[in-house]
Every structure is written in C-alpha cells, then in structure tokens.
Amino acid sequence: MKSITVNISESKTNYSIFIGSDFIGDKLAQYEKEGAYFIIDSRVASFYKNIIPKERVFLFQASEKNKTLLSLEKMLDFLRQNDALRDSTLVAVGGGITGDVAAFAASVYMRGIKLIQVPTTLLAMVDSSVGGKTAVNFKGIKNNIGTFYQPGMVLIDSHFLDSLTDKEYLNGLAESIKIAAVRDKEFFEYIAANKTSILKRSKAIMEYIIAVSCRLKAEIVEQDEKESGIRKLLNFGHTVAHGIESDSNHKIHHGFAVALGMIYESKYALKKGYIDKDTYDAIYGLLKSLKYPTHYEPKDIDKMLEALSKDKKAGKNGISLALSGKNMQGVIINNIKSKELIDLFL
Ligand SMILES: NC(=O)c1ccc[n+]([C@@H]2O[C@H](COP(=O)([O-])OP(=O)(O)OC[C@H]3O[C@@H](n4cnc5c(N)ncnc54)[C@H](O)[C@@H]3O)[C@@H](O)[C@H]2O)c1
C-alpha cells in the first residue's frame, strides 16, 4: 500500500491518500459498522454489489445533468432524515461527479462533517478526489457553485479500474499526462515508456501512476489551495478543450478534448518559444500513440471564440494559458488573445 500525506497550511488541514488493491471492501464494512453515511454512484453499486454497504446509503446517478443544487439538496435531506450529526462521517464512492457533489454536501451539512473520498474512475483517482474543490453546475454553467473543502482521507483501490470503459480510462489518463507535462519530465517519460502496460491496465504500473499524479497534485495544492497562482498549471490543455467541447456540443469526451487542448496549446508554446520541438514531439507522440485524437476541425469559429473568451481563465486583457515549459516545468502566460488560439486551427 502506498501513502501520500497532503499538508495544506492555508486551511490548516492535512490528510492521507492511500493507494492499493482489493482493500476497499474491508474498509467500507468497517465504516458501515462505525455508522458512517455513504453516497455511492449507482453504476458502481451495481458492479460491486458484494462490497457495497447496505445501511445509510444514498445511490446517486452520476451525470453532468444531475450535478445540480437539487441533487445536493437530496443528499442533504438524506443526511438529515437519517439523523447525521456534526461528528458523522460521509463516504463518497464514485467518479468525479459523485465526489464533487457529495463533498459539497459534506462541506455544508451542519457547517461541515468529515468526508472520505473513495474515487472509482481513473480521473477521480488521479485528479478530482485530491485538492478539495467541490461543485455543482448552475444555470448551464459547469461547476459554477461550490466550496473548497479538503477530505479527511482519500482511499484509492485499483480494483475499480477493471470495470471502466476504455473511454473512461483514457479520460482519466489524460489528466496524469497533463500533470506530468507541466511538473515532471521523468514521470512523463515513465508514462511514455510504459504505455503498453498502461493500456493493459497493469495494477502495479497504474498504482505507481496514480501515486505520482496524486503527489504532484498534492504539492501544487499545498502551495496554492484556492488557485490564485501555481494551481492554474492544472489547466494545461483545458482552455482549448473548453472551446472544443463547446464547438462540438460536448460530443467529444472531456479527456479527449483535453488531449487535443494539450496538442494545440503546445503548438502555441512551440510557436512562442516556451517549449522546444523535442518537447512538442514528445507530447504529440505520446497522445497519438495512446490513440487520442490529434486533429480537430472547428465547426463554428465564432462559437469557439466566444467559449474561449468566456473561459474561467479569461480576464479583460485576454486569456491566461498554462503551458508545458522548458524541461516540462509549466508556465502560465497571461493576456493571450483568443484569436491567436483560434488561428492554430486554421
Ligand atoms: N474537484 C476537482 O478538482 C475536479 C477535477 C477534475 C474534474 N472534476 C469533475 O469531475 C467530473 C468528471 O469525473 P469523472 O470523469 O469521474 O465522471 P463521472 O463521475 O461521471 O464518472 C464517469 C462514468 O463512469 C461511471 N463509473 C464510475 N466509477 C466506475 C467504475 N469503477 N466502473 C465503471 N463505471 C464507473 C460513472 O457512473 C459515470 O457513468 C466533472 O464533473 C468535473 O467537473 C473535478
């Protein structure tokens, strides 16, 4: 079992992330005995019936459509109706959507109860379960409302990877590639060297990849919990991805849009001299070899321009972009005109 400790001085919290395989059944049984409350992705519950608790369980159908204030209210009502108290523990079992909404509920129920994250998608394991951002979508705006609330613990069992579709698996892997490309060249090269085992879902390799991704994210969050500086590096690939998702009416899955975003943003970085050709080729080559899309034909340039200009990273003087940099130490570049990014597609 691997473990990582996260120390966040800004909110005076620290917690551990444990990564291993086939240990989660015993842990969930222990929490059930201790009277914990569970919010569980209904799809996960159907796949893992033998280890899912029976008492004090709220089954949640995870989708962006259900990532709403109404779902948050239902979760809070579940806690209230089942007499959860200030010292109760809420265990969130599921992907990023379940984790984000359940964590929001834990953060506001009685002004905050203990939260344990049990991420079951690769994306949630390497990214969303660590860092304390909670959210729901509001009036059509993704993650428009939320809180910062760090979990008390994160338990990652690689057993959950077995039932993910290839699409969900690659969706999460894109986030590991992203963090490697802006923080750790050696880790990037490790992913590239082990891509065959990664595609075969080797437990040993994946537990290492999850552990390094969590450690790298933890190091960033420890320095900048509220995303006023270095945490913005985690947006590498996401600004252009946002434009592509909007242009494609969200037909392109997030991780695939992020892969395209990393490629087009790296084209920009190469053009402006933030990275050299070898770095560009390494990023492009790895994504291509893992069968992510590498080329995107915009359908409506104006719609894409508008999405880029309205991106959360956009200010009145232009867009902020997180890019890979020299030796894959990421950089944040401000005041980029969205037109300059669109030109990369033409
Ligand atoms: N809080 C953060 O810092 C942060 C960071 C990145 C993304 N996010 C959020 O995460 C969300 C995306 O998370 P996601 O990609 O995990 O999506 P998700 O939670 O919708 O899960 C994807 C799909 O996989 C299913 N699933 C979950 N675990 C499974 C398993 N083990 N086997 C089979 N199927 C399983 C789910 O039911 C769902 O259908 C977005 O809403 C995004 O905003 C949050």
Determine if ligand 1 sits within 6 Å of the CB of residue 168: yes
Per-residue pLDDT for 304 more than 90?
Answer: no
- Work out the average pLDDT over 308-315: 70
Mean pLDDT rounded to a whole number for the chain: 95
* Closest CA relative to residue 334, chosen from 323, 342, 346: 323
pLDDT at res. 299: 92
Cα–Cα distance, 51 to 47 (Å, whole number): 10
Residue 257: CATH number of its domain: 1.20.1090.10
Cα–Cα distance, 147 to 107 (Å, whole number): 7
As annotated, the active-site residues are: 111, 133, 175, 217, 227, 231, 235, 238, 242, 254
pLDDT at res. 268: 95
Q: What's the predicted TM-score (pTM) here?
A: 0.96
Domain boundary among 109, 139, 164: 164
The torsion of the CA quartet 160, 166, 172, 176, rounded to 10 degrees, works out to: 110
* Closest CA relative to residue 107, chosen from 128, 92, 125, 123: 92
Domain boundary among 164, 183, 213: 164
Residues 86 and 133 in one domain: yes
Residues 243 and 159 in one domain: no
pLDDT higher for 225 or 312? 225
Residues 189 and 152 in one domain: no
Residues 215 and 278 in one domain: yes
Q: What is the pLDDT of residues 47-79, one digit of tens each?
A: 999 999 999 999 999 999 999 999 999 999 999
Residues 46 and 127 in one domain: yes
Per-residue pLDDT for 229 more than 80?
Answer: yes
**Nearest ligand 1 atom, CA 122:** 16
Residues 152 and 245 in one domain: no
Residues 33 and 160 in one domain: yes
- Of the candidate ranges 9-18, 210-219, 260-269, the one whose mean pLDDT is the lowest: 9-18
pLDDT band at residue 218, thresholds of 50, 70 and 90? Answer: very high
pLDDT band at residue 309, thresholds of 50, 70 and 90? Answer: confident
Per-residue pLDDT for 128 more than 90?
Answer: yes
Determine if ligand 1 sits within 6 Å of the CB of residue 143: yes
Residues 142 and 66 in one domain: yes
Question: To test ligand 1's pocket by mutation, which of 166, 168, 201, 231 has the most ligand atoms within 8 angstroms of CB?
Answer: 168
Question: To test ligand 1's pocket by mutation, which of 6, 118, 123, 176 has the most ligand atoms within 8 angstroms of CB?
Answer: 123
CB 265 within 8 A of CB 321: yes
Domain ranges, residue 140: 2-164
Only one residue has tokens 């880790």, namely 187
Per-residue pLDDT for 293 more than 70?
Answer: yes
- Work out the average pLDDT over 199-228: 95
Determine if ligand 1 sits within 6 Å of the CB of residue 44: yes
Number of domains within the chain? 2
Of all residues in the chain, the percent with pLDDT exceeding 70 is 99
Residues 268 and 179 in one domain: yes
Q: What is the pLDDT of residues 139-191, one digit of tens each?
A: 988 899 999 999 999 999 999 999 999 999 999 999 999 999 999 999 999 99
Q: What is the pLDDT of residues 322-345, one digit of tens each?
A: 999 999 999 999 989 888 888 888
Per-residue pLDDT for 276 more than 80?
Answer: yes
Residues 91 and 47 in one domain: yes
pLDDT at res. 245: 92
pLDDT at res. 310: 73
Per-residue pLDDT for 265 more than 80?
Answer: yes
- Work out the average pLDDT over 218-234: 92
Phi, psi of 2 (to 5 degrees): -100, 150
Q: What is the pLDDT of residues 242-251, one digit of tens each?
A: 999 999 998 9
- Work out the average pLDDT over 229-257: 94
pLDDT band at residue 311, thresholds of 50, 70 and 90? Answer: low
